[in-house]
Amino acid sequence: MKIIRKIKLMQEYVKRQRKAGRTIGFIPTMGALHEGHLSLIRQAKKENDIVAVSIFVNPTQFGPQEDFKKYPRPLAKDVRLAKSAGASVIFNPSADEMYPAGYQTFVEVGKITQGLCGASRPGHFRGVATVVNKLFNAVPADKAYFGQKDYQQARVIQQMVKDLNIAVQVVICPIIREQDGLAMSSRNQYLNAEERKSAACLYEALKVAKAMIKSKIKETAKIKKEVRNIIESNLLAKVDYIEIVDAETLEPAKMIKGKVVIALAVYIGKTRLIDNMVIG
């Protein structure tokens, strides 16, 4: 399998594939690949001739106090896993290749970035939108695959693609979970054994919220309170946010109506985890 580190070479590779009549599926990642990532690669493999996976820990989407430095970077293992899931090529640029000296252009998506993780992580979605835009230019694909795990991110990318007329089809794939329901994440490896057990409370709380909605409880305040109680009954857990929002606009919902997303961000010890469930 090919590993490409330069933007120009990556663009030339895609051009050659297109010339040969092949379709390209693209999965942007920050590496430390797990079954969640691999499910996106497998889906892309089903729908395209060539599958490109980018591995780039993007400095511009991390806040100054966040985990950019300690974020895991097991490149050799990632290459092996990506290949086994069907990747044809890996794009692994350096930070200097992506942001050379003198770099000065950023992409800001509006309202949809302001709540949820956008409120807790100022500048995060500016970094995400910028890097994904740059990656789309480096790997001009037919389809790009994102996980529902990062629901707001996927919506931000859809909005950006629409607003900027980017010629890529965004595909959102389901959340892959561990046996106890914890959403797979590269950050789960920060958890010690005790924290790992506690982390199951995010999914437990989401399931209770879903059951409440099924039993026709409409007031979101009531549902959020119950979700908070479940999570806070856990000594290691500290809620960052619990929100119920419209699935399209991400505006907070007072009452359950149409398609909604229950979205959570919770610190387990020092590790911030997110999860969500789409309902309706």
Residues 6+ apart with CB under 8 A from 34: 176, 184, 185, 186, 188
Contact 149, 185 (CB under 8 A): yes
Q: Which is nearer to ligand AMP, 149 or 224 (CB)?
A: 149
How many residues at the interface with ligand AMP, by CB under 6 A?
A: 17
Contact 152, 121 (CB under 8 A): no
Active site residue 37: yes
Binding string, 202-241, against ligand AMP, x = CB under 6 A? ----------------------------------------
Nearest to 35 by CA among 92, 85, 70: 85
Sites for ligand AMP among residues 67-106 (CB under 6 A): none
Between the alpha carbon of residue 28 and those of residues 39, 66, 101, 126, 192, the distances in Å are 13, 20, 23, 16, 28
Helix (H, G, I), strand (E, B) or coil at 175: coil
Q: Pick the binder of ligand AMP from 54, 133, 159, 185 (CB under 6 A).
A: 185
Helix (H, G, I), strand (E, B) or coil at 82: helix
Q: Pick the binder of ligand AMP from 38, 147, 168, 190 (CB under 6 A).
A: 147
Under the binding rule (CB under 6 A), the answer on residue 29 touching ligand AMP is: yes
Contact 200, 225 (CB under 8 A): no
Contacting range for ligand AMP; rule: CB under 6 A; set: 9-17, 183-191, 200-208, 220-228: 183-191
Q: Which is nearer to ligand AMP, 12 or 35 (CB)?
A: 35
Which residues contribute to the site for ligand AMP (CB under 6 A)?
A: 29-30, 36-37, 39-40, 146-147, 149-150, 173, 175-176, 183-186
Catalytic residue IDs: 37
